[in-house]
Chains A and B, each alone.
Chain A
Amino acid sequence: MTGERCDVLALEMDALECLMPMYMALDAVGRIISLGSTLQKILPKSVRQGAFFFDLFTVRRPGRVHSMAQLCPGKGQKVAVALSERGHASFRGAVVPLAGGGVLLNLSFGAGVLEAVRRYALTEADFAPTDLAMEMLYLVEVKSVLTEDLRQKNARLEGEKTQAKAEAQTDPLTGLYNRRALDQALDQFIATQTPFALMHLDLDFFKSVNDTLGHAAGDYVLREVAAALRREMRESDIVARVGGDEFVTVLPGLVAVAKLRAVAQRIIGQILRPMVYEGRPCTVSASIGMTVSNHYTSPKAAEMLADADMALYAAKRAGRGRARMFQSLIPKPA
Chain B
Amino acid sequence: MHGLVNKAFQSFVRDTFGVAAWISIARHAELGFEGFESLTHYDPTLTGRVVDAMVVVLNRPRETLFEDMGNYLICHPNCQALRRLLRFGGAGFVDFLFSLDELPERARLALADLDLPQMVLTQMGDDHFVVRVQGALPGCAYVLVGLLRALADDYGTLAVIEHHGDGQGGEVVGVRVLEQGFAEGRHFDLATAGALS
Contact = CB atoms under 8 A, between A and B. Distances in A.
B81 interface: yes
Interface residues of A, number: 24
Q: Which 6 pairs, one residue from A and one from B, show the smallest C-beta to C-beta distance?
A: A142-B110, A118-B191, A138-B88, A117-B191, A145-B81, A124-B91
Interface residues on chain B, size class: 20 to 34
Contacts of A16: none
A122 B190 contact: yes
Contacts of B15: none
B52 to A, nearest CB: 27
Contacts of A114: 191, 193
Contacts of B189: 121
Contact of A138 (B106, B191, B194): B106
Nearest to B190: A117
A140 B85 CA distance: 10
Contact of A141 (B37, B38, B84, B91): B84
A139 interface: yes
A141 B121 CA distance: 25
B59 interface: no
Given A135-B106, A138-B106, A145 B197 contact: yes
B136 interface: no
A-side interface mostly: helix
Nearest to B37: A153
Interface in A140-165: 140-146, 148-150, 153
A123 interface: yes
Interface string B37-61: 1110000000000000000000000
Interface of A: 114, 117-118, 121-125, 134-135, 137-146, 148-150, 153
B91 A125 contact: yes
A210 B110 CA distance: 64
A120 B194 CA distance: 17
B180 to A, nearest CB: 15
B-side interface mostly: loop
Contacts of B194: 144
Interface in B165-197: 189-191, 193-194, 196-197
A137 B194 CA distance: 12
A137 B88 contact: yes
A146 B191 contact: no
A140 B88 CA distance: 12
B122 to A, nearest CB: 21
A296 B173 CA distance: 84
B90 interface: yes
A24 B111 CA distance: 37
B81 A121 contact: no
Contacts of B190: 117, 122-124, 137
A134 B85 CA distance: 10
A38 to B, nearest CB: 13
A149 B38 contact: yes
A141 B85 contact: yes
B109 interface: yes
A141 B100 CA distance: 19
A122 B189 CA distance: 9
B191 A134 contact: no
A141 B109 contact: no
A143 B110 contact: yes
Contacts of B91: 123-125
